Structure formats: C-alpha cells, structure tokens
Amino acid sequence: MRFIKNAFNNTLQYALKHLRQLGLGLRQLALHRILLLGVVASLLAGCGQSGLGPTPQPLPSAEPAPPGELRLYLPNDGSAPDPLVPKSRQMQQAMSLVFDNFIDFTDDGRLVENLALTWQDSTQNGETCWTFTLREDIEFHGTSNKVTAHDVVFTMDQIMANANSPYRSALTAATRYEATGDYTLRVYCAKPMRTFLRAMVFPVVSEHAYGQTELPIGSGPFRVTANDDQAMVMIKNQKWWRQLPDIETVTLRYFKDEPAALAAFSNRQIDMLSTLNRTAASYQNYGRSQVISCVTQTYQCLLPNFNNSVLAQSAVRRAIATALDKDTLSARAYCNFLLPSDTPLTPDDWLYNPALEQISYDLKLAKQLLEDAGWRWSDDHQCLIKSGMELKFELAVYDSLQYPEHLEAAHEIARQLGLIGCRVTVNPLTMAEYDEIITKDKSVDCLYTGITFSRMPDWDFLLNTMGSSNIMHTSFSALDGALSRYKEAATEEDCKLAMQDICTQIRENLPLIGIGFRQEAVLANLRINKLEKPRSDMLMQSIRQWELGQDDVAQ
C-alpha cells in the first residue's frame, strides 16, 4: 500500500472512491468488427485490474539471473508459438525476436528495408506492380536454407489462409503475388497505393519448416532451443545479419496470468514485463527497478451518433471537445498512463504536423459556444435547452468487473460535461450489448471506446461515409476526399499532405472526439541498461541496444 501511495498519491483516493465504477475489457471478434481490436489489446495486456492492483502471489526466493540472460513473461494459454497467428501481445513480441519482418517500421513510423532490400512500383496492364528485391545472404536458424522470395510467397499464402492472422487484413489489397526469382518478388494491386506497403510488414517463415518442426525456426536475432510448459529458451543467433545484441539468452517463463507475472517481477523471478495495469508503478522497488511508460496504438475516443439530434449539431460537439479536461481525465481514470490527443496520430509519428492547432481545454469558451448556438438553462437548471430540446445524451461504455478504468473515465466525462449544462447518463454495457453496437445492430447516442489503429494509419473503415465500421453514421465529403487521397497517395509527400488534411477535417468536423492514446508501463530490473523510452509496438526491436549488468538480488 505504501508503494501505491508514493507512486499515485493524487489518484489513489479517486480510485478508491470509485472502486465500484468498473470498465473495459473485451475479446477479439471477426475482422469486420475492427473497433473491438482496441479492447482486445487491453485484454491481452491485462489492462485495468482492480483499483489497488493485483495482490502479489508468494513465490520462491529469487536467484540472480546468469550473466547475459534476460528473463521475460509469456501467458500460459496453451498456444503454440506461431508468428503469423500469435495468441497474445507477449507472444507476438517474443516471436519478433525469432523472425525477421519482410520490411519494417522505423521509430517514427516510416517504412524501412529489412529482409527486403529495395522495392519499386510500376504500372503493368493497368495494375500497380511492386517489385521487391531480397537480401541474398540470410539463413534460417540451424540450417543452410536461405530466406528466399519463395518463403515470402509461402508466408503470404499462410496469412491469407488464416482469418485470425493480424496481418491478413492489409494484405487483402493485393490482387496477386509471385516469386519471379529466388530473390525477387512481385505484388500486384488494383490501384497505385503507397499505403499498401504497410501490408508487407510481417514475419517471414520458412516454407520447409513452418508447421513441421517442434520449435519455431526463423532468421531473427534469437534462436529457440527449448520450449516446454515452464519456459521458452532462446539463444543469440551468431549468424544474424544485423548488429548482434549484448544479451546472450532470453528465457520466457510461462505464468497463468498477468497478476502472477507481476508477482514474479516483484520477487525478481523475471526481469521485465509490459502492462496496461494502471497501478503498475506500485511494483517499482526504488533502487532495484525502473518503470518506463510507452505509448500504444490504442486510441480512446468518443464516437457521437450523427443520427442523434443533439450530437449532430457542430456547436455541441465543439463545446464537448472544448470542455473536456484530458489531463484530469488521464490522472483520475488512467493514473496518467494516457497521452492526450485530438486525433488518432501519435506526436512521434512522421505524419504528425505539430503546427496544426490542438483543441485546448477552455470551460468558458465551451459555455460561450453553446450560448451562441442558442442553448439556455432550463427553469429547473438541470441542463441546457434549445427549442424544447434538452442538452443531454447517453454515453455507452463496455462494463466489466475486472477492468475499471474505462467506466471510470466515462463517469469523469459525464461530470466534466455537467459543468457546461450537458446532462450525460453513463450506460454500462454487457458484452452482448457492446457486440450489437459494433455490428450496427443497436444504436446508442454516444460510445466511449478504444480503437487500435495500424502504425501506418488507415482510418477509412471508421470515418468514411461508406466505411465498414462507420457505426455512428458520420458523413463529410471533404473528409471522404482526404481519406481517399491518403489511401491512394503515390509518394511520401502525398501521404503527409493528405494526412494533414484528414487531421484538419477531424479537428473541424469532429466525427470523433479524441481523448488520447493508452500508455503501457514497462517494468524492468535496473540491470537492463539503455532501455530508452520505447513505443509499445517497437519494444523488442530495441533489444539490440540493451545492455545487461549484474543481477544482485541482495541489493
């Protein structure tokens, strides 16, 4: 309890006060239910445990880790280590140590060569043809088999054949693909879209080993040497083609759930884990541990229903956006593990334009916007009214006893909007009710949710008038045009200009009202050096820079 009070003195009392106001958590559904992905990320990460955090479970006394060994956590869900269909975020991170991506992202979201050395687009018979050239000296672990274009084609076939692969959706834009040589690949698209290249960010597996060997075989910086019900063990791949990491061995220990893993970290059974648990700082042992926040791609926002006569009014949406104190919301509901943002683009992204004006919290301005639009206080001062219409709406949010922060955030939003005369009723949803909204079978006034966006943004599904997940019936022709220009941009400059226009349209029209990006806490033993503030999706890619000091459990 002392750790919690030390780390979160400003937020603990709020969490205790609202302990019974509980929130988000949810499972992954079919592809067309893409809005659920943001909640899936929270569930896989064990986000939002009880307000006081999980109680550490007793474990045997810790022993110092052998020199050069890094100990991590994997959920014991019984799944095989499959890089193309990972069952958890932790497994996906683990597989990134074993397999190389075909092409990759830089820290700021640009595309960069990896196994693919070069790529060039051309037009052939009315189609756009992307021609990729592979590196010729990369070997799969423990074999003399080189990574070839045939392996890439095989990998793409496996992805397309499995509807549960997180890489499948983006690849559907390809009309066909073929290996035209051992180290040359051609991929065809119906339109000249530079944004298609994000679809080529996937781990490449061996056509001779995938699904045929007990242990996964890749070409990445670490090679798996053992995997049982206790742990997966990897050793450094001495033949890796890039800078070798300082770490010699990675041991990924299986635990039944995240509370058990957090207890293991507290007892120094593992060296590091990342979590969305908002009380993560309570596990910091000063002098022995470090807690680093890293931004995720999960974006918290309000989705107003444009069929609602109140929320369809531009002045009302503008007043709501202006009345929201995101810093206070972040502190009270998320223990400051949330990065406020008006648009679904992180400030470190190369597409982000810092010159675009942000919507600032201004309660006085919010009230003035409503007054100028003709809203006046009702006789009973319960809320504002206009032409007999009350300024009120219902705010829906998924409710789970295990994950409190999102429902707490919804209640905080309702409290803040009450200050401008807007009466908000929070409606906690069951899983079945939330599912009905996502599949467009049920209508709500406004939805508070989290959406996990691609690192190379494609928001067409949500914001386009004809978007597959436009559940709130937004329709702005200028925004539709900007989304189309971005999706079909032929150059990086065209991408950036179109994205700036999209962000401007979002800010001006408010088809969604942004709150911010969730942040994970990376809990790490102090013996891990050079662990700079990473992005959640790039955490393991930075392992080459890490250095391990001596593990002194008596410290």
Is the same domain home to 196 and 282?
no
Average pLDDT over residues 521-545: 85
Torsion of CA 440, 446, 448, 450, to 10 degrees: 40
Residue 236 resides in a domain? no
Pair 34, 124 in one domain: no
pLDDT of residue 41: 39
Is residue 30 pLDDT above 60, yes or no? no
386, two tokens: 């206009």
pLDDT of residue 429: 93
Identify which has the larger pLDDT, 483 or 26: 483
**Strand, coil or helix: 225:** strand
Q: Is the pLDDT of residue 59 over 80?
A: no
User: N- to C-terminal Cα distance for the chain?
Assistant: 22
Q: 129: left (phi > 0), else alpha (psi -120 to 50), else beta?
A: beta
**Local confidence band at 77 (pLDDT 50, 70, 90 cut-offs):** confident
Does residue 402 carry a pLDDT above 90? no
Does 412 lie in the same domain as 305? yes
Residue that is written with structure tokens 């007999």 in the block: 388
64, 133, 196, 250 from 272: Cα distances, Å: 14, 37, 34, 11
Residue 69 near residue 249, CB atoms below 8 Å: yes
| Structural domain boundaries, residue 184 | 103-200
Same domain, 195 and 323: no
Please say if the pLDDT value at position 198 is more than 70.
Answer: yes
Categorize the per-residue pLDDT at 441 as very low, low, confident or very high, splitting at 50, 70 and 90.
confident
Model confidence at 230, pLDDT cuts 50, 70, 90, reads: very high
Res 33 pLDDT > 60 = no
pLDDT tens digit string along 113-139?
999 999 999 998 889 999 999 999 999
* Among 200, 218, 250, residue at a domain's last position: 200
pLDDT value of position 476: 96
Please compute the mean of the pLDDT values over residues 467-493 and round it to a whole number: 92
Report yes or no: 505 and 476 within 8 Å, Cβ to Cβ: yes
Tell me if residue 7 falls in helix, strand or coil: helix
Res. 197 pLDDT band, cuts 50 70 90 = very high
The proportion of the chain whose per-residue pLDDT surpasses 70, expressed as a percent, equals 86
Burial of 525 (0-12, 13-18, 19+ CB in 10 A): buried
Length of the chain measured in residues? 555
Of the two residues 347 and 15, the one the predictor is more confident about is 347
Q: What is the pLDDT of residues 291-328, one digit of tens each?
A: 888 999 999 999 999 999 999 999 999 999 999 999 99
Q: 37 in a domain, yes or no?
A: yes
Does 410 have pLDDT greater than 60? yes
Q: Does one domain contain both 440 and 382?
A: yes
d(C-alpha 363, C-alpha 32), whole Å? 38
Of 121-130, 184-193, 221-230, 437-446, the one with minimum mean pLDDT is: 437-446
pLDDT at 48: 37
> Where does a domain end: 184, 200, 216?
200
Instruction: Give 456's pLDDT tier (boundaries 50, 70, 90).
Output: confident
Same domain, 528 and 395: yes
pLDDT band at 2 (very low <50, low <70, confident <90, very high): very low
- Over residues 331-343, the mean pLDDT reads 92
How far apart are alpha carbons 130 and 85 in whole angstroms?
A: 25
183-187, 274-278, 286-290: which is most confident: 183-187
**Residue 60 C-alpha from the chain's centroid:** 34
In a domain, 122, yes or no: yes
Single residue among 167, 200, 233 that ends a domain in this structure: 200
Whether 249 is covered by a domain: the verdict is: no
Q: What percent of the chain has pLDDT over 90?
A: 60
Work out how many domains the chain is built from and give that number. Answer: 2
What tokens appear for 536 in the block? 């959640």
Residues 524, 411 share a domain:
yes
pLDDT of residue 53: 42
Task: Compute φ and ψ for 389, nearest 5 degrees.
Answer: -95, 130
Residues 42 and 153 in one domain: no
Quick one: average pLDDT of 142-168? Answer: 95
Query: Are 298 and 366 in the same domain?
Result: yes
Domain of 137, CATH number, reads 3.90.76.10
Three-state DSSP at 239 gives coil
Beta strands in 76-144 (DSSP E): 103-105, 111-113, 116-124, 127-134
- pTM, entire model: 0.83
Please choose, from the candidates 483, 58, 257, 329, the residue with its C-alpha nearest in 3D space to the C-alpha of residue 320.
Answer: 329
3-state secondary structure of 515: strand
